[in-house]
Amino acid sequence: MPDILTEPRDHPTMLIRNEPMQARSTARLAALLDAAAAVVAEIGYERLTTAMVAEGAGASIGTVYRYFPDRIAVLQSLAARNEERATDRVLAAVDDPAHADWLAALSASFDVFVGLFRTEPGFASLRLGDVLDLRPAEGTPRNSVMASAIFDALASRFGLPEESELRAAFEVAIEATDALVARAFARDAHGDAARLDAARRAVAAIIAESLPLPPR
């Protein structure tokens, strides 16, 4: 899989100033992102500053600016890391032979997404980065990229029809998942169970308008 921390996300602006070439530099970058994630988990992404990142990583402010021109670049790189980890885990769930049909695999993907909210620092606030209101908007929304990856994986494994209407339904379903799961975690660090159950049903219902559900 490409390293989306250092590759462009549908536009020419690089997420970090200097691509780490050695293990030491890679570890330093990881420490900065870990520190940023911890701050976001504690106070949300809106209040993150580069000084907080430096303090959390035990680094100088100059070290932060060596990699990131500003706090937005830090958040974009953290979101890219979130996306990379989410994509790896979601596609692994889709590929799991324990799932006999596309709905079971999609449900497992939903569980993975919920798990990221619970275990990945800062994920509940920042997710894949679409919450960052940057103008003018550039590139494809990251939820759309994730939806396309999930659809392609499910279509390949379970022979789903390659129809634009169905692909669009998956995109809407992923957008709904993001919004509804975020709401479930807004006041409950473990996720409100009733809201999560409703979100799971809503996702299946959205897709069922374009694809019959498998028999149970």
pLDDT at 63: 96
How far apart are the C-alpha atoms of 7 and 10, rounded to whole Å? 9
pLDDT at 25: 85
pLDDT of residue 54: 98
Closest CA relative to residue 203, chosen from 1, 48, 211: 211
User: What confidence tens digit (pLDDT) does each residue in 69-107 have?
Assistant: 999 999 999 999 999 999 999 999 999 999 999 999 999
Alpha carbon distances (Å) from 177 to 60, 100, 167: 38, 22, 15
* Amino acid identity at 206: I
Mean pLDDT, rounded, of the chain:
91
Whether the Cβ atoms of residue 129 and residue 75 lie closer than 8 Å to each other: yes
Top pLDDT among 163 and 138 is at 163
Specify the pTM. 0.88
Average pLDDT, stretch 145-151? 97
CATH topology of domain 23-208: Tetracycline Repressor; domain 2 (1.10.357)
Residue 96 has which token pair? 């799991």
* Number of other CB atoms surrounding residue 119 within 10 Å: 8
Average pLDDT over residues 193-213: 96
Alpha-carbon distance values, 205 to 21, 178, 208, 216 (Å): 46, 15, 5, 15
pLDDT for position 137 = 81
> What is the predicted pLDDT for the residue at 23?
73
* Section 121-135 average pLDDT: 95
Tens of pLDDT, residues 30-41? 999 999 999 999
